């Protein structure tokens, strides 16, 4: 069950990471942050090369790796723009929708088992998301651009998680090389986005340089590496891993309130989060007991 402990540690780190992303993107240029975050996180993977035998992709495996890297590039764009537009106490629970996407995709493409509890848990997660976006008798909040970006990010994350699991478990690409590639390939693409943004780069480094360094070094490498470690196990189904990791909502909500001063619809967001956490536990519980 070492993969389970890895995911539980990643869950705690993930809660802090969501808040740090919001702290930076709220007032800074998203393209500049995307470039700096992926640059620092990629560097953080280099020491891991000395901890394992490095296995590079072979043949068609490069196509799967490049596809995953491009998806992460898109997730950087949609996800960081979402954190810029939405408070973390809304982003964190709503992003839980990726549990639904992951479950469907894992069953269809990876052949993971479908159980009654997984289906019921997914319905509960959806109910929590429905309650979260329901406002004054309608789903009007779905018209908000930030909310739309959160949902799109959740969908893209569901897709890329399949690539990550397949690339690590089936193709047996080393975690150190894969993690570095998933940061530095998007970083190179973000490099084109920051052309002509010299002033934005100076401003974000001056105002948030320390936070970016911490986020890249701790959240970027440890959080993602722990996921890649879990993916290497046969018993670690992604339809179980992702529900467990969403328990980070509790940390994100608390820090969003205590550190960032987010108080809008706090009771509603808290209740929605509890509903979605219950659904996540329902999905994952049979596989971990």
pLDDT in tens, 61-113: 999 999 999 999 999 999 999 999 988 777 777 777 777 788 888 888 878 77
Q: Could you read off the pLDDT tens digit of each residue along the chain, which spans 289 residues?
A: 588 888 888 888 888 888 899 999 999 999 999 999 999 999 999 999 988 888 889 899 999 999 999 999 999 999 999 999 988 777 777 777 777 788 888 888 878 777 888 788 878 877 777 676 666 554 556 678 888 898 899 999 989 999 999 999 888 899 999 999 999 999 999 999 999 999 999 999 999 999 999 999 887 788 999 999 999 888 778 877 877 777 777 777 777 777 788 777 778 778 877 887 788 778 766 655 5
Return the closest-CA partner of residue 237 out of 61, 109, 74, 69. 109
* φ, ψ (nearest 5 deg) of residue 6: -60, -45
pLDDT at 138: 46
| Strands annotated E in the chain | none
Whether residue 275 contacts residue 99, with contact meaning beta carbons closer than 8 Å, is answered with no
Return the closest-CA partner of residue 17 out of 41, 47, 35, 49. 41
Total domain count for the chain? 1
Whether residue 283 contacts residue 118, with contact meaning beta carbons closer than 8 Å, is answered with yes
Number of CB atoms found within 10 A of residue 243's CB: 30
Kindly list the distances between the CA atom of residue 46 and the CA atoms of 41, 70, 178, 184, in Å, as whole numbers in the listed order. 9, 21, 11, 11
Q: Indicate if the alpha-carbon torsion angle 175, 176, 178, 182 is positive or negative.
A: positive
Residue 6: which domain range?
2-288
Whether residue 191 contacts residue 76, with contact meaning beta carbons closer than 8 Å, is answered with no
Q: What is the DSSP string of 45-113?
A: HGGGGGSS------TTHHHHHHHHHHHHHHHHHHHHHHHHHS-HHHHHHHGGGHHHHHHHHHHHHS-PP
pLDDT at 210: 95
pLDDT in tens, 11-30: 888 888 888 999 999 999 99
pLDDT at 109: 80
């Amino acid at each position: 069950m070492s993969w389970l402990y890895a995911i539980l540690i990643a869950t705690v780190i993930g809660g802090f990471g969501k808040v740090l992303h919001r702290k930076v993107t709220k007032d800074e240029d998203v393209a500049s942050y995307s470039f700096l975050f992926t640059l620092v996180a990629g560097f953080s993977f280099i020491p891991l090369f000395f901890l394992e035998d490095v296995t590079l992709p072979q043949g068609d495996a490069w196509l799967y790796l490049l596809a995953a890297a491009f998806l992460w590039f898109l997730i950087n764009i949609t996800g960081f723009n979402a954190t810029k537009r939405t408070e973390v106490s809304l982003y964190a629970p709503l992003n839980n929708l990726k549990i639904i996407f992951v479950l469907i995709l894992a069953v269809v493409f990876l052949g993971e088992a479908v159980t009654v509890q997984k289906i019921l848990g997914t319905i509960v997660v959806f109910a929590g998301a429905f309650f979260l976006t329901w406002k004054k008798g309608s789903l009007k909040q779905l018209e908000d651009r930030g909310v739309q970006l959160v949902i799109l990010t959740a969908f893209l994350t569901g897709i890329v998680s399949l690539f990550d699991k397949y690339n690590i478990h089936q193709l047996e690409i080393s975690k150190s090389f894969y993690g570095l590639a998933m940061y530095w390939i998007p970083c190179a693409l973000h490099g084109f986005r920051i052309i002509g943004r010299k002033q934005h780069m100076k401003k974000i480094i001056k105002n948030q340089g320390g936070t970016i360094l911490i986020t890249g070094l701790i959240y970027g490498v440890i959080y993602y590496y722990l996921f890649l470690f879990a993916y290497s196990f046969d018993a670690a189904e992604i339809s179980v891993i992702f529900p467990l990791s969403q328990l980070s909502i509790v940390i994100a909500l608390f820090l969003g309130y205590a550190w960032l001063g987010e108080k809008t619809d706090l009771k509603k967001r808290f209740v929605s989060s509890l509903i979605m956490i219950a659904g996540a536990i329902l999905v994952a519980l049979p596989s971990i007991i």
